[in-house]
A and B are shown apart, each in its own frame.
Chain A
Amino acid sequence: MNTKRWFYGFLVLLGIGLLLVGVLVFNSSETKMASGLSFGIGAATSGLGIGWLIRSFVVTSIEDEAIRKSKEIEINDERNTRIRERTGYMVARIMNYVLCVFILILGFMGADRNIILMVAGLILLEGLLTIYFSSRYSKTM
């Protein structure tokens, strides 16, 4: 637990360091992008570090183990797995129709041919992935 706390503390310091670099070092108009990037990563890192650090003090190691086991059960639960599989299947099916309609709309709008081809490429990729994974799973099941 202590090693973890040191790591979270390090993350907080790293995040604060990046925030300061973003504000104090990259302060010219030429380095605006680097400043934004540094600021963003710094904010995210320090935020995560602070969150995990607080959590490590609030949640004891016994509770931590119980939470971990409960999470593991939730992830491996066969009903949840089936729900995830069905959700993925339905989303892929719907997205296929959405992409087809999108191509039609792009065509009617007179969009650039390359853009239409790129979107059509996505449908093709989806088809190829479906063939690949169907073949792979049919061999293993």
Chain B
Amino acid sequence: MKNRLEELRKQQGIRQEELASALEVSRQTIGSIENGRYNPSILLAYKIARYFGMTIEEVFIFEETKDEH
């Protein structure tokens, strides 16, 4: 699943550490989500979307053809 997290974070001039602290997750988790290595839980996805004042669909892009784990 692709996402716009890095783009949105940079637009607002927030560091990974700051975002991680606000969402109460580790900085590595934010990095992994941005790189597409890790797909967050629905709860974290919701928290991220709410942090940027958007819906989940606006932040995360679901690709049906790709094999998801």
List the interface of chain A (C-beta within 8 A of B): 73-74, 76-80
Secondary structure type dominating chain A contacts? helix
A71–B20 alpha-carbon span in the complex (Å): 13
The 6 nearest A-B residue pairs measured at CB: A79-B29, A77-B26, A77-B25, A78-B41, A79-B38, A73-B24
| Residue from the list B24, B26, B43 in contact with A79, Cβ < 8 A | B26
Residue B28, interface by CB 8 Å = yes
Q: Which residue of A lies closest to B32 (CB)?
A: A79
Residue B54, interface by CB 8 Å = no
List the interface of chain B (C-beta within 8 A of A): 20-21, 24-26, 28-29, 32, 38, 40-41, 43-44
Are the C-beta atoms of A78 and B24 separated by less than 8 Å? Answer: no
A135–B40 alpha-carbon span in the complex (Å): 26
B44: A residues at CB distance < 8 A: 78
Given A77-B26, A77-B29, A79-B32, 7 further pairs, Cβ under 8 A: A73-B20, A73-B21, A76-B24, A77-B25, A78-B44, A79-B26, A79-B29
A78: B residues at CB distance < 8 A: 25, 29, 40-41, 43-44
A76: B residues at CB distance < 8 A: 24
B22 to chain A, nearest CB (A): 11
A80–B30 alpha-carbon span in the complex (Å): 12
Q: Which residue of B lies closest to A82 (CB)?
A: B38
A135–B59 alpha-carbon span in the complex (Å): 36
B25: A residues at CB distance < 8 A: 73, 77-79
